[in-house]
């Protein structure tokens, strides 16, 4: 269904263009020609990092026209460097072929349902790490060789989104996407239509694999890596603010003394990284333990003892156990210096 796939440049910004061999039906959240429509082409246009246009739809239409693309073309936007991240990945399963077109870049990535609160720090990290390459959108388009019913098009968003999130998990991100992701499903107009395209269907499996590969390619191309969350922001999100931690510690310190001790206790990249990782794996640890796995809790106990010098009660859950132990330890005495575990540089 794809006749050509290329990247062109306008005013120093890349534009990825996909032309189809026939007019396709499409369902998308694209800024230009979104919703249910028909399309002969797809383009993903790069915009400046500080993009703030009064009429982005009109802007996208002007770019379409300057490229000589058909009026029905579907257009998306990204601040990611299209020349680096624009890619097509194909997957086939049990005779069903699917292509995924993707651009991806992170900074406003979140776990679905969470409120993005630390964009500024992520922005600074991204600028420093990626030489001013910075973005906050994952665009994914799925192109099928088989026509789909309306329900089939809607259902196809499941393997697209879950494949995208799986790609982020492959890279170590706990987040599931960004706050501005866009997606599209393209399928031919004629032929026997498929109505079920979920992750258990042959075509859904192919779509999820293509989406996962395309998003993974883009994240790798940009050198994206997770950024550990600040300890108090992480603990606050879990319901443990300073007041709750002070109560949990059962300390004789005043609230002010405990706050100072806690701040010192949580200082440094070692604690930030440990807490971020602990929360990331906590549900899996708890699930394995509840299922009778006899290896996982001793492993976590040893990690806590060797790295933090605490022995949490993990029988009540990994997060609650570690947080309780940290609160109690911080409430006993200030930890002016933590030593690195054996084998690690000080």
In a domain, residue 346? The reply is no
C-alpha of 122 from chain center: 13
In a domain, residue 343? The reply is no
Same domain, 35 and 160: yes
**Element spanning 6, H or E:** strand 2-10
What pLDDT is stored for residue 340 in this prediction? 45
**Element spanning 273, H or E:** helix 269-290
In a domain, residue 128? The reply is yes
Same domain, 179 and 215: yes
In a domain, residue 339? The reply is no
Same domain, 30 and 98: yes
Last residue of some domain: 161, 195, 222?
A: 222
Residue 336, pLDDT above cutoff 90? no
* Cα-based angle 304, 309, 310 (whole degrees, multiple of 5): 65
Same domain, 16 and 89: yes
Task: Give the whole-number percent of the chain exceeding pLDDT 70.
Answer: 87
Same domain, 287 and 321: yes
What pLDDT is stored for residue 143 in this prediction? 98
pLDDT, mean over the chain: 88
Classify residue 212 as exposed, middle or buried by CB count within 10 Å of its CB (0-12, 13-18, 19+).
buried
Residue 13, pLDDT above cutoff 70? yes
Same domain, 186 and 252: no
Residue 186, pLDDT above cutoff 90? yes
Q: What CATH number has the domain bearing residue 40?
A: 3.60.70
Task: Between 94 and 131, name the one with better pLDDT.
Answer: 94
109-110 vs 87-93, strand pairing mode: unpaired
pLDDT band (50, 70, 90) for residue 227: confident
Same domain, 18 and 148: yes
Residue 265, pLDDT above cutoff 70? yes
Mean pLDDT for 288-306 is 93
In a domain, residue 341? The reply is no
User: What is the Cα–Cα distance from 116 to 180, expressed in whole angstroms?
Assistant: 12
What pLDDT is stored for residue 334 in this prediction? 57
User: What is the Cα–Cα distance from 67 to 63, expressed in whole angstroms?
Assistant: 6
Same domain, 212 and 246: no
Last residue of some domain: 190, 222, 254?
A: 222
Q: Which domain holds residue 323?
A: 231-332
What pLDDT is stored for residue 130 in this prediction? 41
pTM, 2 dp: 0.81
Residue 131, pLDDT above cutoff 60? no
In a domain, residue 317? The reply is yes
What pLDDT is stored for residue 319 in this prediction? 94
Same domain, 32 and 177: yes
Last residue of some domain: 200, 222, 244?
A: 222
User: What is the Cα–Cα distance from 274 to 262, expressed in whole angstroms?
Assistant: 15
SS3 content of the chain, % helix, strand, coil (to 5): 40, 25, 35
What pLDDT is stored for residue 223 in this prediction? 83
What pLDDT is stored for residue 114 in this prediction? 52
pLDDT tens string 41-63 = 999 999 987 788 999 999 999 99
Same domain, 97 and 195: yes
Sign of CA dihedral 33, 34, 37, 38: positive
Same domain, 194 and 277: no
Strand partners, 25: 38, 187
Cβ-contact 189, 23 below 8 angstroms: yes
Residues contacting residue 203 through CB under 8 Å, at least 6 positions apart: 93, 96, 98, 144, 146, 156, 194, 197
- Specify the range with the lowest mean pLDDT, choosing from 22-31, 127-136, 279-288: 127-136
DSSP string for 48-98: -TT---S-HHHHHHHHHHHTT--TT-EEEEESS-HHHH-EEEEEEETTEEE
Residue 94, pLDDT above cutoff 80? yes
Residue 300, pLDDT above cutoff 90? yes
Residue 311, pLDDT above cutoff 50? yes
Task: Between 29 and 229, name the one with better pLDDT.
Answer: 29
C-alpha of 187 from chain center: 26
- Specify the range with the lowest mean pLDDT, choosing from 25-39, 116-130, 264-278: 116-130
In a domain, residue 198? The reply is yes
Domain count, the chain: 2
Residue 142, pLDDT above cutoff 90? yes
Residues contacting residue 216 through CB under 8 Å, at least 6 positions apart: 167, 170, 171
What pLDDT is stored for residue 222 in this prediction? 84
Same domain, 212 and 288: no
In a domain, residue 82? The reply is yes
């Amino acid at each position: 269904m794809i006749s050509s796939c290329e990247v062109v440049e306008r005013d120093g910004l890349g534009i990825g263009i996909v032309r189809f061999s026939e007019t396709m039906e499409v369902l998308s959240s694209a800024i230009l020609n979104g919703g249910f429509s028909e399309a002969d082409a797809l383009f993903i246009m790069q915009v400046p990092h500080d993009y703030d246009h009064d009429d982005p739809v009109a802007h996208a239409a002007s770019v379409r026209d300057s490229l000589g693309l058909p009026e029905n073309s579907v257009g998306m936007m990204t601040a990611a460097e299209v020349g680096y991240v624009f890619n097509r990945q194909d997957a086939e399963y049990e005779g069903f072929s699917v292509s995924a077109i993707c651009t991806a870049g992170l900074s406003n990535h979140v776990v679905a349902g969470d409120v993005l609160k630390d964009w500024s720090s992520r922005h600074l990290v991204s600028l420093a790490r990626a030489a001013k390459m910075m973005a906050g959108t994952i665009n994914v388009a799925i192109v099928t060789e088989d026509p789909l019913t309306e329900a089939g098009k809607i259902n196809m968003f499941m393997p697209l989104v879950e494949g995208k999130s799986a790609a982020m998990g492959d890279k170590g991100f706990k987040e599931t996407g960004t706050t501005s992701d866009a997606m599209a499903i393209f399928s031919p107009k004629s032929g026997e239509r498929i109505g079920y395209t979920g992750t258990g269907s042959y075509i859904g499996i192919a779509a999820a694999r293509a989406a996962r590969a395309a998003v993974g390619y883009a994240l790798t191309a940009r050198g994206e890596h997770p950024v550990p969350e600040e300890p108090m922001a992480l603990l606050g999100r879990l319901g443990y603010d300073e007041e709750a931690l002070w109560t949990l510690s059962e300390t004789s310190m005043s609230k002010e003394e405990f706050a100072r001790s806690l701040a010192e206790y949580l200082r440094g990249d070692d604690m930030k990284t440990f807490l971020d990782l602990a929360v990331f794996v906590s549900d899996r640890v708890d699930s394995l333990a509840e299922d009778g796995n006899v290896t996982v809790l001793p492993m976590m106990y040893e990690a806590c003892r060797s790295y933090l010098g605490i022995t949490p009660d993990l029988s009540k859950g990994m997060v609650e156990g570690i947080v309780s132990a940290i609160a109690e330890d911080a409430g006993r005495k200030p930890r002016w210096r933590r030593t690195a575990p054996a084998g690690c540089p000080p």
